[in-house]
Structure 1
Amino acid sequence: MRRWIALCAMLLAGAASAQEATLPAPILTLNQERLYISSEFGQRVREDLEANSADLAAENRRIEAALVAEESQLTTDRATMDPTEFRLLAEDFDERVTGIRGAQIEKREALQRIADQERGRFFELAYPVLFQLVEETGALAILNQSAVILSSRQIDVTDLAIERVNAAIGASPLPDEPLSTPLPRPSPQDTVQETPPQGDD
């Protein structure tokens, strides 16, 4: 965003110093939000976020089912278990549930952070394309439509900007980096203790 403001300031200063100019260069407008969400890059980010969110939701359901089953087994075993042993197992279970819940929340927040970072990367990549568009048209500046009270459709370059940005950077996908999956530790009943083989005396 600072680059965007700097670009406008630079162009305004250059126009003011051009004494021979009798008319100001045209002002162009751009729907910055539509540029992003309608671009191949923005659509790819949205699809990635939706797919990863769906995967995370499925993972949460699997983990929840495993924890519910473990809790049910722990409750069943309580009647035949030493109270001290049960208390230790129950505390361990609660600890793990809290840790897993925190890890899954962090995953969800990480997905949103990636989407936000990708939005910033998009405008970094789009900046040279927009600058070239300013130079080609001889425009004084490109203003975001959200900051303009009234303008003519003739000076809206959003569609042209989308076309140029798509041609220049496309979807620019990130390399796949699968998130780690914290799974609940097995209950004591699911743990198999292997006895080392004994040699013949």
Structure 2
Amino acid sequence: MTVRALGRVQAAAAGLLALCLSFVPLSLASQQLGLPTTNIVVIDTNQLFAESAFGQRVKNEIEADSRALAAENRRIEAELAAEEKALTEERAGMTPQAFRDKADAFDAKVRRTREEQEAKALALAEESDKAQRRFLTVAQPVLEELMAETGAALLLDQRAVLLSVQEINITDVAVRRIDRAIGDGSAIVPQAPDPDPEPGDPGQD
């Protein structure tokens, strides 16, 4: 074999080796990282949020806010009870009309206060859902990276899957990756809420 022919053979072999190696990193890297090589991967979004540092922070904050709201409700309840008692004691020295006016004002105050506290409780109940949606948004680049590493073309929520093998569930790995990427999320600037449309704005129903 001539030197030139040998060179062509070596070049062809090198090209074949490079071609083979181009398929290795994805499978090898995913195996080393404990990831499957598959077209479909699954995550449990509830577990992903609950076990992440982000989700744990939100949980602690909501629990603290709930305790604060409960304490506020107890304080308001005691204040209203004291006000009602004082009004009852004043009744003997008041005209029927004056007492009725004060009683009506007190009832209106109780209704208004109840509505305000119920609105606070509703907003608190919705906070976890809002935080989870925000979490999935900021975690999306990490999930896309995991899809690329596994070769997956589709990422499914466990809740939408009837039956699957455990190997394609990458929730545990995703939690660790997301924690490394964003921590507990406290450094992330929250998205500003959409402003309420002004009366007469285009597009308002």
TM-score normalised by the chain length of structure 2: 0.69
2:157 match: 144
- Contact persistence 2:38–2:168 (CA under 8 A): no
2:74 match: 61
| Paired residue secondary structure (2:164) | coil
Distance 1:76 1:159, change over 3 A: same
Alignment of 1:96-111 (within 5 A): 96-111=109-124
Structure whose alpha-carbon radius of gyration is higher: 2
Distance 2:120 2:152 in 1: 44
AA matched with 1:65: A
Cα offset, 1:148, TM superposition: 2.4
Cα offset, 1:27, TM superposition: 2.0
Which ranges in structure 1 are unaligned for 5 or more consecutive residues? 1-23, 176-201
Distance 1:93 1:145 in 2: 52
Distance 1:64 1:97 in 2: 9
AA matched with 2:84: E
1:127 is aligned to 2:140: yes
| Paired residue secondary structure (1:151) | coil
2:129 match: 116
1:27 match: 40
Distance 2:63 2:50 in 1: 14
The share of aligned pairs that are identical, in percent, is 45
TM-score normalised by the chain length of structure 1: 0.70
Distance 1:150 1:114, change over 3 A: closer
1:90 match: 103
| Paired residue secondary structure (1:172) | coil
RMSD: 1.8
Distance 2:152 2:73 in 1: 52
| Paired residue secondary structure (1:149) | coil
Distance 1:142 1:45 in 2: 25
Distance 2:38 2:172 in 1: 21
Which ranges in structure 2 are unaligned for 5 or more consecutive residues? 1-36, 190-205
Residue correspondences, number: 152
